[in-house]
């Protein structure tokens, strides 16, 4: 087989040189530096590390590879998905390593629907699927708030409208302003920071997030995911009052209550002071009537109770008197019976003692000899000269011991 030969004057190129040359040719063509393409997205795959977005743009017959670097992707208001028809603005380039041409995308616009509207619907569906808008998450507003936090622009007419409405309806409430930008790049971070600060301080009973009307672009800060999540995460109830009646934002769905306008929010978060005063006056008058009726009924009841108490008192006294007399009679009868029993027992004891008394022995002719001091006569203690007393029935004979004879001598 014959080897291929280079033509005269033609050099042999490496693949790298060829790809580099093609890249320079294509990228130097001003017609290819900015192209607009219409097609359908497929094989959409964001890179997990770099954040670059890789996809294919195709029509009925052909396709072309595309890449959108992270810096451009972050500017999108929506998330590209497979099957989505878009209009792309970008530049034709060559990926030298593989020798393939591709489109470096700078912008993407959904075909037939605005990018902001699509982004709104995508985020709404995403957060709704997470349960962020569920009614069970909604917090009740306090009926009589002591302090209301206002998250809004300090320079707009919205703040003045809120102060006027709230001051007219419920002048006793205090207001705490959290100044933020409500439009532009700074608005997102400032609104999230204000919500977090209000929850840290904890001095407010509820928060009102407010802005006047405007285009979808003007209200876009209230359609951003960080703002919606900060509202849902708030421990304090949040009322969203953004735009006019027909304007709906993601913040409205995430908030605990949506107000159609900022002025309407001022009415929703406060009770009507005039109505409260009128109701209080009527309640006070009604209370007076009820109190007078109650006093009259109580007076009549007191008189009836007093009369009943007098009757019961007399009846009770009579019952107590009768019970006392019966108890006194029973006590006396019991005491007399007990006393008689004691008397009988005493007589029996006396009779027994009399039977045992030495005096009865003396009556039978016996005598009792004692020492003169009344102590018994003891053989081993008596001595000659001691005086002794001999007691007889008729009297006592006092003698003096002249001698002591042993028993055997007496016998």
Residue 353 has a pLDDT of: 75
- Where b means 16+ CB within 10 Å and e means fewer, 46-59 reads eeeeeeebebbbee
Q: Express each pLDDT in 253-304 by its tens digit.
A: 999 999 999 999 999 999 887 766 776 677 777 887 888 888 888 887 777 7
Given pLDDT bands bounded at 50, 70 and 90, which one contains residue 2? low
Check whether 392 has a pLDDT greater than 90. Answer: no
Residue 400 has a pLDDT of: 80
Q: Express each pLDDT in 118-175 by its tens digit.
A: 778 888 888 999 999 999 999 999 999 999 999 999 987 899 999 999 999 999 999 9
Write down the H helix ranges in 357-376: 358-363
Are 240 and 254 spatial neighbours (Cβ–Cβ below 8 Å)?
A: yes
Write down the H helix ranges in 94-184: 115-129, 157-169
Residue 10 has a pLDDT of: 59
Q: Express each pLDDT in 342-384 by its tens digit.
A: 888 888 887 777 776 666 666 666 777 888 777 887 777 787 8
Residue 70's alpha-carbon distances to 42, 48, 105, 138, 388, in angstroms, are: 18, 11, 11, 36, 146
Q: Whole-number mean pLDDT of the chain? A: 84
Over residues 1-8, the mean pLDDT reads 56
Residue 139's alpha-carbon distances to 135, 182, 210, 248, 258, in angstroms, are: 9, 24, 18, 20, 12
Check whether 1 has a pLDDT greater than 70. Answer: no
Are 176 and 163 spatial neighbours (Cβ–Cβ below 8 Å)?
A: no
Check whether 235 has a pLDDT greater than 90. Answer: yes
Residue 387 has a pLDDT of: 85
Predicted TM-score (pTM) of the model is 0.53
Short-list 40, 98, 33, 31, CA closest to 64: 40
Given pLDDT bands bounded at 50, 70 and 90, which one contains residue 69? very high
**172: left (phi > 0), else alpha (psi -120 to 50), else beta?**
alpha
Instruction: Express as a percent the part of the chain with pLDDT over 90.
Output: 33
Check whether 319 has a pLDDT greater than 90. Answer: no
Over residues 55-70, the mean pLDDT reads 91
Over residues 64-86, the mean pLDDT reads 87
For tokens 């009926």, name the residue: 143
Short-list 130, 372, 148, 131, CA closest to 269: 148
- The values of phi and psi at residue 391, to 5°, are -95, 130
Over residues 86-107, the mean pLDDT reads 89
Short-list 32, 160, 184, 30, CA closest to 93: 32
């Amino acid at each position: 087989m014959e080897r291929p030969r280079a033509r005269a004057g033609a050099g042999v190129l490496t693949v790298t040189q060829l790809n580099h040359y093609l890249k320079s040719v294509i990228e130097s063509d001003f017609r290819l530096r900015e192209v607009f393409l219409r097609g359908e997205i497929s094989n959409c795959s964001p890179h997990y590390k770099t954040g670059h977005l890789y996809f294919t743009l195709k029509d009925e017959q052909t396709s072309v590879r595309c890449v959108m670097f992270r810096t451009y992707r972050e500017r999108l208001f929506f998330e590209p998905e497979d099957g989505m028809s878009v209009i792309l603005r970008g530049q034709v380039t060559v990926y030298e390593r593989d020798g393939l041409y591709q489109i470096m995308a700078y912008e993407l616009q959904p075909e037939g629907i605005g990018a902001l509207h699509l982004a709104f619907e995508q985020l709404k569906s995403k957060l709704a699927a997470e349960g962020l808008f569920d009614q069970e998450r909604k917090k009740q507003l306090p009926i009589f708030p002591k302090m209301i936090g206002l998250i809004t622009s300090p320079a707009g007419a919205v703040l003045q409208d809120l102060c006027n409405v709230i001051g007219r309806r419920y002048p006793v409430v205090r207001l705490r302003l959290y100044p933020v930008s409500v439009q532009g790049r700074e608005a997102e971070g400032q609104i999230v920071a204000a919500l977090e600060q209000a929850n840290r301080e904890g001095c407010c009973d509820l928060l009102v997030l407010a802005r006047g009307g405007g285009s979808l672009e003007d209200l876009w800060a209230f359609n951003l995911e960080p703002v919606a999540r900060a509202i849902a995460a708030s421990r304090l109830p949040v009322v969203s009052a953004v735009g006019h009646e027909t304007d709906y934002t993601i913040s409205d769905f995430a908030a605990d209550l949506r107000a159609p306008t900022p002025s309407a929010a001022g009415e929703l978060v406060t009770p009507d002071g005039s109505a409260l005063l009128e109701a209080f006056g009527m309640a006070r008058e009604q209370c007076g009537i009820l109190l007078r009726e109650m006093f009259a009924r109580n007076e009549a009841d007191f008189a009836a109770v007093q009369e009943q108490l007098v009757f019961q008192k007399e009846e009770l006294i009579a019952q107590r008197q009768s019970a006392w007399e019966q108890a006194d009679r029973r006590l006396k009868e019991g005491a007399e019976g007990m006393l008689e029993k004691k008397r009988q027992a005493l007589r029996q004891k006396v009779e027994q003692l009399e039977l045992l008394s030495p005096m009865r022995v003396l009556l039978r002719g016996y005598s009792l000899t004692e020492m003169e001091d009344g102590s018994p006569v003891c053989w081993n203690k008596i001595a000659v000269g001691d005086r002794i007393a001999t007691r007889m029935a008729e009297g006592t004979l006092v003698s003096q011991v002249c001698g002591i004879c042993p028993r055997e001598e007496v016998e």
